[in-house]
């Protein structure tokens, strides 16, 4: 073997070793085995029994086949010949979930939907002991519940700080997917501060950790072995895992858990506004340099915002020292503020920043009734493609407004492109109130052309701004 060949081989081996080392992180891969060994005993399996009402005739219940025994058509046939059905029957339905022990004397955190409507809750530990648990409290808005079992000297989890999580960090879940107890799955943090439909008060942690039915209520750990979230929901079109999992941040869950332990219910802060995102078109219409903040589309009467002087069209860009980049950032901050606490708001009004101090009140129970629209006399479509009519007394009462114009029909044109729909009540154009159809025409005639202007509409029980661009 000559020197040149030996040199080439040596250089090749050196290069291979260098590349191989570079492919492995300096700290090596996470030691998930040690993490599971040290934290697994504090994770519990939860099984519940719910009482489900069964309607129809006894023994004949097949809800998936409407014309089969137990279906609606079959029941009607039985009533015709045998009279009304007897008393309703009830049967037990069982479900599975997970949870984790937060105190050595038996307090357990889980998801509210895991124990909803449960008449019996069984908690099983990793050492095979089983306990009948008592439900201390449950909060559906955050999907957090607290259980208590009669036991002492239990293993507990360490609580971490989800605010220190970064997108890309490794995380680990332990739970009972499909009843397979003490299953561990790992992944990374995909995003933070996610807002989900009907879950405006929770800034979810999004991960790609494999979560399936039965994982709900289980802990999400960081690499230090600290709980940073409660696995709550998945996004799926099949019912199984598809790479999108969501966890309730543990700092919020612990705060809610303490309130449930102290009083059995949760008190949330309330600002009394309806908000929406600021789109690029709306930012232009409000003279903003870029889209950001939470746009107030409606101020609820007698709410904290109304008492402070906030108006529809204001854009909240800061709350209690926290920057508001998107509308989803505001509800969690308000919700976690104790009722009675004064909070400083910075908002944009007419493109100029203004500061207000608002006293946060307690969020009232939801009691929003839907409204329907009654037809009224129409107005010929104008340059916007709109057919409008003035509001009568009954329609004002029906829509909960004092003034505005009713959209009867929407044809092709600028209004349709802006998102205006039949049944909407137009209340403002470019910040000016709309009193009637004639007034609406005057405002449109005076509005700038080839530039988006904000139009406030009431739709159903809410209100929102739309960006209308009138061609020259």
CB of 270 closer than 8 Å to CB of 334: yes
Residue 436: closest CA among 395, 458, 406: 406
Count CA within 13 A, CB hemisphere, residue 368: 9
Res 185: pLDDT: 95
Its CATH class, for the domain covering 41-148, is mainly beta
Sign, CA torsion 202/203/204/205:
negative
The residue whose two tokens read 């943090």 is 189
47, 138, 183, 216: the catalytic one is: 216
Residues in Cβ contact with 285 at an 8 Å cutoff, skipping those fewer than 6 apart: 430, 451, 452, 453, 454, 465, 467, 468
CB of 200 closer than 8 Å to CB of 328: yes
Q: Which CATH architecture has domain 158-263?
A: Beta Barrel (2.40)
Decide if 158-263 and 269-362 have a common fold.
Answer: no
399 is catalytic: no
Give the integer Cα–Cα distance in Å for 101 and 156: 5
Summarised one tens digit per residue, pLDDT across range 386-406 is 888 888 777 888 888 888 899
**CB-count exposure of residue 143 (10 Å: 0-12, 13-18, 19+):** buried
Res 2: pLDDT: 52
Give the integer Cα–Cα distance in Å for 437 and 390: 6
Q: Is the pLDDT of residue 56 over 70?
A: no
Q: Is the pLDDT of residue 8 over 70?
A: no
Tokens coding 175:
């739970």
Res 390: pLDDT: 86
38, 61, 113, 169: the catalytic one is: 113
Residues in Cβ contact with 320 at an 8 Å cutoff, skipping those fewer than 6 apart: 333, 337, 343, 344
Higher pLDDT, 416 or 368: 416
292 is catalytic: no
Phi, psi angles (nearest 5°) of residue 307: -70, -25
Sign, CA torsion 168/174/177/180:
positive
Summarised one tens digit per residue, pLDDT across range 140-199 is 989 999 999 999 999 999 999 999 999 999 999 999 998 898 999 999 999 998 887 666
Q: Is the pLDDT of residue 256 over 60?
A: yes
- Domain spanning 269-362 has what CATH number? 2.30.42.10
Give the integer Cα–Cα distance in Å for 262 and 65: 47
What percentage of the chain reaches a pLDDT higher than 90?
46
CB of 46 closer than 8 Å to CB of 99: yes
Confidence of residue 412 (pLDDT cuts 50, 70, 90): confident
Please spell the DSSP secondary structure of 370-425, one letter per residue. Answer: -------------TTSEEEEEPPHHHHHHHT-SS-EEEEEE-SSHHHHHT--TT-E
Phi, psi angles (nearest 5°) of residue 256: -65, -40
Q: Is the pLDDT of residue 50 over 90?
A: no
75, 139, 143, 298: the catalytic one is: 143
Q: Is the pLDDT of residue 64 over 80?
A: no
Confidence of residue 120 (pLDDT cuts 50, 70, 90): very high
CB of 276 closer than 8 Å to CB of 462: no
- Domain spanning 386-469 has what CATH number? 2.30.42.10
Res 451: pLDDT: 81
Please spell the DSSP secondary structure of 232-247, one letter per residue. Answer: EEE--SSSS--S-EEE
Domain ranges in the chain are 41-148, 158-263, 269-362, 386-469
113 is catalytic: yes
């Amino acid at each position: 073997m000559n020197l040149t060949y030996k040199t080439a081989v040596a250089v090749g081996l050196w290069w291979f070793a260098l590349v191989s080392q570079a492919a492995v992180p300096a700290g090596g891969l996470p030691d998930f085995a040690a993490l599971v060994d040290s934290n697994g005993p504090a994770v519990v399996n939860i099984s519940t029994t719910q009482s489900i009402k069964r309607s129809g005739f006894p023994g004949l219940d097949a809800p998936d086949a409407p014309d089969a025994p137990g279906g609606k058509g079959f029941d009607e046939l039985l009533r015709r010949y045998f009279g009304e059905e007897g008393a309703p029957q009830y049967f037990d339905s069982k479900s599975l979930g997970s949870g984790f022990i937060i105190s050595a004397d038996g307090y357990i955190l889980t998801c509210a939907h895991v124990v909803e409507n449960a008449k019996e809750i069984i908690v099983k530990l990793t050492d095979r002991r089983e306990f009948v648990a008592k439900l201390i409290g449950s909060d559906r808005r955050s999907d957090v519940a607290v259980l208590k079992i009669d036991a002492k000297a239990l293993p507990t989890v360490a609580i971490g700080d989800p605010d220190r999580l970064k997108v890309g960090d490794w995380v680990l879940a332990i739970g009972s997917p499909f009843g397979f107890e003490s299953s561990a799955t790992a992944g990374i943090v995909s995003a933070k501060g996610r807002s989900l439909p009907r879950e405006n008060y929770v800034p979810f942690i999004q991960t790609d950790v494999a979560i399936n039915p039965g994982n709900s209520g289980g802990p999400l750990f960081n690499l230090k072995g600290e709980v940073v979230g409660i696995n709550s929901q998945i996004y799926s079109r099949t019912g199984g895992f598809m790479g999108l999992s969501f966890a309730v941040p543990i700092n919020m869950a612990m705060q809610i858990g303490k309130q449930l332990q102290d009083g059995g219910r949760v008190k949330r802060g309330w600002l009394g506004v309806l908000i929406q995102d600021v789109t690029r078109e709306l930012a232009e219409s409000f003279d903003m340099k870029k889209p950001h903040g939470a746009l107030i589309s409606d101020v609820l009467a007698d709410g904290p915002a109304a008492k402070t002087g906030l108006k529809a069209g204001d854009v909240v860009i800061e709350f209690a020292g926290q920057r508001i980049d998107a509308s989803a950032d505001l509800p969690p901050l308000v919700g976690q503020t104790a009722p009675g606490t004064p909070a400083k708001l910075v908002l944009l009004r007419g493109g100029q920043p203004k500061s207000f101090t608002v006293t946060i009140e307690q969020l009232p129970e939801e009691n929003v009734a839907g409204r329907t629209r009654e037809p009224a006399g129409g107005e010929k479509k104008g340059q916007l493609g709109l057919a409008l009519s003035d509001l009568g007394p009954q329609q004002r009462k029906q829509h909960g407004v004092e003034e505005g114009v009713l959209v009867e029909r929407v044809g092709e044109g600028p209004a349709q492109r802006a998102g205006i729909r039949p049944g909407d009540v137009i209340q403002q154009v470019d910040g000016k109130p709309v009193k009637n159809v004639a007034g609406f025409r005057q405002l449109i005639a005076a509005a700038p052309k080839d530039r988006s202007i904000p139009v406030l509409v009431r739709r159903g029980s809410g209100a929102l701004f739309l960006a209308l661009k009138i061609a020259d």
